[in-house]
């Protein structure tokens, strides 16, 4: 019986020592985090005031064949600046065309595009916007977002037979 009691006492001592080490490590981590927060007070305010990128391109995969008829979601991109959804209109199990919604609504069609949109497209290895294709289908889809001043331009491109074609251009 004395051997078991001695073994039990040694395990209890080791457990107490481990608890002390863990508590001191947690306290040191808490102090380091508090010191870092005091040294960098403007970090959270800086990230909240951060502007969206001036030019961005997001690639999406197309819908698989054989889906139910209607509008189906092909892809979603969500950030603190907005929510972009690429949707496909399906009829008879085949995708007829794709379109983009921004924050739940289709962007208004852009009558004319500024020069910054062509510069943004070139930076993202896409052709300069021209006349939109009739039907928007392809093996990859890419949404180009350009912020010019107060306006945001959203362009949808489809990759077909080795090249990118403009499907639609809108503004939000």
In this prediction the pTM is 0.70
Are 104 and 134 found together in one domain? yes
pLDDT given for residue 23 in this prediction = 63
Kindly state whether residues 71 and 31 are assigned to the same domain. no
CA-CA distance, 24 to 7, in Å (whole number)?
26
* Measured distance CA(134)–CA(131) in Å, rounded: 9
- What mean pLDDT comes out for the span 142-165? 91
- Domain residues for 22? 2-46
Phi, psi of 155 (to 5 degrees): -120, 140
The mean pLDDT value for 44-58 works out to 75
Residues 120 and 149 in one domain: yes
H-helix or E-strand spanning residue 170: strand 163-171
56 versus 14: which is more confidently predicted? 56
Same domain, yes or no, for 62 and 145? yes
The DSSP annotation for 13-65 comes to: HHHHHHHHHHHHHHHHHHHHHHHHHHH-TTHHHHHHTPPPPSEEEEEEPPPPT
Residues 84 and 104 in one domain: yes
Tens of pLDDT, residue by residue over 74-119, are 999 998 888 999 999 999 999 999 999 999 999 999 888 999 999 9
Average confidence (pLDDT) over 2-30 = 70
What pLDDT is stored for residue 39 in this prediction?
A: 46
Domain co-membership, 113 together with 76: yes
Number of structural domains the chain divides into: 2
């Amino acid at each position: 019986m004395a051997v078991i009691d001695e073994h039990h006492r040694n395990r209890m001592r080791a457990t107490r020592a481990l608890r002390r080490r863990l508590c001191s490590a947690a306290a040191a981590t808490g102090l380091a985090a508090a010191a870092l927060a005091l040294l960098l007070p403007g970090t959270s305010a800086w990230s909240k005031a951060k502007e969206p990128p001036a030019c961005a391109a997001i690639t999406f995969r197309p819908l698989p064949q054989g889906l139910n008829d209607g509008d189906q979601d092909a892809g979603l991109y969500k950030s603190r600046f907005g929510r972009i959804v690429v949707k496909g209109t399906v009829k008879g199990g085949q995708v007829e065309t794709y379109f983009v919604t921004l924050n739940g609504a289709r962007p208004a069609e852009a009558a004319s595009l500024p020069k910054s949109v062509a510069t943004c497209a070139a930076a993202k290895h896409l052709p300069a916007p021209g006349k939109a294709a009739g039907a928007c289908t392809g093996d990859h889809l890419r949404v180009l977002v350009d912020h010019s001043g107060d306006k945001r331009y959203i362009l949808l491109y489809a990759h077909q037979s080795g090249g990118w074609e403009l499907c639609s251009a809108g503004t939000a």
